[in-house]
Structure 1
Amino acid sequence: MTVKHLLVDFDKPNERGSFSPGDILSGRVTVVTSKETKVQCFLVKAKGKAKVAWCEQGQATRVHSNKKKYFNFEHIILQDKNKGDGSEIISAGRNVYPFTFVIPNVDMPSSYQGKWGKIEYSLRTKLTQSIWLVNKTKTEFPFLTKSEFPFASKSDMIIMGLKEQHYATRISYYGSEKVTLNVTSEKMGTKQGEAMAVSVEVLNDSALTVTPKFYLCEKQTFAAQAKRIVHANDTLFATGDSVPAETRQTVTKILSIPPQLPPTFFNCSMMKLEYRLKVTLDVPLARNPEIKLPLVILLGSPKPHQQKPKRSIWFRKLPS
C-alpha cells in the first residue's frame, strides 16, 4: 500500500467547539504516500443523521430500526477523467486538500448517544485506488441545536414554568400510622453544571425511622416502525438525615447537575430525552413512598472543546 496515512480534521468554529445550523464547516484532508499514487476517486463527505435499532425477543427475534438523514454533502477532491483508469496522481509525501461545507440552517437535534439510538454528525473520506484497494477514514464533529429550548414545539407551558417552584405531597399509611412527605424544588429548569435547592418536609407519625433519598431519573424513548422502547436510569444524588419516629423534620439539599449530562430534547422524531427529580423515603421492611417532580436540563455555559484524537480506518475492499 502506497498510502501510508489518511486523516480528516476540521477548524474549531467557536469557544464551545461545536457547530450549529448555518455554520461553515471548514477543514482539510491529509494524505501521506510513499510514492506517486494513481487514484480513481478521492472525496470527502459531511453527514448528519439519526438512527435507532433494538431487538424484540419473542417466538422470533425482531429487529426494529429507523434512520433519518439531516444532510449529506459530497466534495470530490480528485476523480479520473475516464472512469476506472486511475489517471489522477497524488504526489509522493504529504498532501493537504482543503474543503468547505455550509451546514443547512434548519432545526436539527444536537449530537447524542443513547442506549438504542444515536444522533451523529461526521466527516468521512474515501480514497479509491482500484476496485481492490479502498482507504477510508471518519471523524465526528460536535453539533448543537440552535434552539435554546429544543422542546418548545411540544409544550409552551414547560418554558413558562422553568423558573417556578414545584411541589408535591405524598401520604403513606403503615397500619394505623402514617408518614407525610412534602417535596419542593427551587425550579423546574436548570442548566448543566448548575445547582438547585430541594426541600423535603417529613411528618413521621409512625413508629419507624425513615430516611429521605434524592435521585436523578433519566428517561430515553426510542421509536421505530410504530414501536417504542424506553430506557430508564436512576442515579442517586444524595441521602438526607434520618427522621426518627414521632418527629417532624425538614431537610434541604443542594443538588448539582453534572456538567456533562446531555440536555433535555424533543426535537428528534425518533428519540427524546427527559429527566425527573425523584425523592423517596427509605422505610424499613415496607414499601418506600416516592415523589417525582419534572426537571428540564438546559444547555450550560460554553466550555472549550477538547477534540477527540483522530483515527484512521484502513481496509482493503475485497471482491464480491
Structure 2
Amino acid sequence: MPAIKSLTMVYDALNEDGTFSEGDPIRGKVTLVVEKPTAVQSFFVKVKGDAHVRWTTRSGNHNHTHSANRRYFKLKQFLIEESANETVIPPGVHVYNFNFTIPSTSMPSSFRGTHGKIVYILEAKLSRSWKVDKTADKVIVFHSKSFPHLQSLMLRQVAEKDKELGVFSSGKVHMEVTVDRMAYAPGETAVVVAKIRNSSSSDMTPKVRLSQVIVYTASSSTKHENRTINKMAHQIIGPHSEKEVKWAVKIPTNQEPTIKNCEIISLEYILKVYLDISFAFDPEVTFPVIIIPPDLASASQQAVSGPSWGPHSSDFHPAAASAPCYPPSTHRYEGAQPYSVAPPSYPANPSGYAGPPMAWGFNQGISSYGSPSSSRVLHPPPNPTAFYPPTSTFPPPPSAPVAHPGSSAPPGSHPHPSAPSYEPPSYMSTTNFLSQSDEPPPAYSLIFPSSANDESGGNK
C-alpha cells in the first residue's frame, strides 16, 4: 500500500473566466492524504510564467533547430521547509494554504501556437528520499492588462485611398474607410464603413478581411504564421457609380489577446479593406486591431464615455502607472485632408485635469475559504519572508488663500493668476491613416514598444 494516497490542489478564482493579470493574488490550498507515517524532505508550492519557441529548418541534408526561452517570474512557498532532518507526516488528511501575488510588471498573455507557447503554471511538489517526487499542477490563464494609451484605442480610425487604373481599364477609384475603433474584446463586432467612388470602366467587389499574424523569434531567425479570422464580401459596384457599404466584422469569442510585450512571440491582428478588380492591382487600406480582455474593454469604454475627467483615486496596478507612453506618429501624407472630429470635453480648470486614466487595473474580490472539516488538519501558511516597511506619513501642506473670480482681493494680497488654456493631448485625437500608399500597414510600434527585430510580413 503506498504511503501517499493522493495530492491535489485548487486555487481561488477572481472572476467568472478564472483568469489572472499583473498584480493579482493567487490563493488556494493543497490537500495531502497520507496512509501511513511518511518522512518528507521538502514540500512546496510554486508559480511561474515562461515563454518557449522551437522549430526546425532543413538545409540540404542537415536539420537546424531554432529555440528560445524566456522566464517572466517564479515564486516559491514552502509548506514543509527543506532540511537535513526529514519531517514525518502522520496518517490522515492534511490541508495546506498558500498565497502568492503575481508581479506587477508587464507580462504577455497566455498563448499556445504551432511553434511556441506562453504558459503560467501552479505546481505543488513533495520530495522524499529514494522516492519519486509527488506532484500536482494547474495551468492558470493569464490575461495581460499592459496596454498603453488604452482609451485612445477606443477612438475611430479613418483612411482613404486613390488609385489610377490602366492597361485593361481606364479611370480611377477613390475609397474612404472608417472603423469605429481599434481595440475590441473577443465576441465584439467591428463596424466598418466604406464610401467608394468608381470612376473607372471596371466592375469591383468590396471586401474586408481580419487576419492574425504570429511571429516566432529565436537566434535572430523568425518564423511567421498568417491566418484569416473573418472575411466578408459586398455586392459588385459597377462602372462610374458611387456606393457606401457597411460590414459588421465579428471577433470570435475564443480569440487570443494581442501580444506585443514578449521578446520571442508576437501576435497581431490586421483589418484590410480592399476592392477586388479583375486584371488590376487591388486598392486597399489596412488598420491595426487590438484584441484585449473583456473586462478591460468594458472599463475603458466607460472611461471614454464617462462625463468626468477630473481628479480621481487611482485603483490601477503599479504596472499601469509606470507604463511608458508611445505617442502616435505625426507624419501626414502630402495632400491629405484631415477629418474633423470633435475633441472630448475637459473641465474648465485645467489644473485639476489628471489626464485620461490608463484603465487596465481593477479591484477584484477574493472569495474566502471555509473552515475545514473536523477530520482534516489545517496547516497555516508559513511566515512571510519579505518585510514591508510602513508607509511614511507627511503632514499636509498649509492651505493658501484663493481669490475667487468676481471677488475683490483684500489690500496687500496677491491674487492667483488665471490658469493657462489646456490643449487636449495628441493621442486623444482620431487615429487617421490618410491617403495610404502601397507601403506595408502601419507598425504596431506606435502603440507598443518593439521587443525584437522581427521580420514583418503579410499576405495580400
Letter aligned with residue 208 of structure 2: F
Q: Is the contact between residue 64 and residue 224 of structure 1 (CA under 8 Å) also seen in structure 2?
A: yes
Matches within 5 A, 1:1-320: 1-14=2-15, 17-59=18-60, 60-79=62-81, 81-82=83-84, 87-149=86-148, 160=152, 163-169=155-161, 171=163, 172-173=165-166, 175-177=168-170, 180=173, 182-192=175-185, 193-200=187-194, 201=196, 203=198, 205-206=200-201, 208=203, 210-244=204-238, 247-283=241-277, 286=279, 289=282, 291-302=284-295
Query: What is the CA–CA distance in structure 2 between the aligned matches of 1:27 and 1:147, rounded to whole Å?
Result: 26
Q: Normalization by structure 2: what TM-score?
A: 0.56
Q: Is the contact between residue 183 and residue 198 of structure 1 (CA under 8 Å) also seen in structure 2?
A: no
- Structure having the higher helix fraction is 2
Aligned-residue Cα RMSD (Å) equals 3.0
- Post-superposition Cα deviations, 1:107-147, rounded to whole Å, max 9, x if no partner, equal 22222223322222111122223434222222111223342
Query: What is the CA–CA distance in structure 2 between the aligned matches of 1:281 and 1:140, rounded to whole Å?
Result: 44
SS at match of 1:61: strand
Structure 1 residues 183 and 115: CA distance shift in structure 2, 3 A: farther
Structure 1 residues 261 and 292: CA distance shift in structure 2, 3 A: farther
Q: Normalization by structure 1: what TM-score?
A: 0.78
- Structure having the higher strand fraction is 1
Cα offset for 1:184? Answer: 0.5
* Identical counterparts, % of pairs: 28
Q: Is the contact between residue 111 and residue 119 of structure 1 (CA under 8 Å) also seen in structure 2?
A: yes
Query: Which structure is larger by alpha-carbon Rg, 1 or 2?
Result: 2
Q: Which blocks of at least 5 consecutive residues in structure 1 are unaligned?
A: 153-157, 305-320
Structure 1 residues 34 and 236: CA distance shift in structure 2, 3 A: same
- Post-superposition Cα deviations, 1:70-123, rounded to whole Å, max 9, x if no partner, equal 21122222256436xxx4333434322111122222222222223322222111
Q: Is the contact between residue 212 and residue 239 of structure 1 (CA under 8 Å) also seen in structure 2?
A: yes
* Matched residue count: 292
Q: Is the contact between residue 39 and residue 88 of structure 2 (CA under 8 Å) also seen in structure 1?
A: yes
Q: Which blocks of at least 5 consecutive residues in structure 2 are unaligned?
A: 297-363, 365-460
Query: What is the CA–CA distance in structure 2 between the aligned matches of 1:191 and 1:177, rounded to whole Å?
Result: 39
Letter aligned with residue 168 of structure 1: E
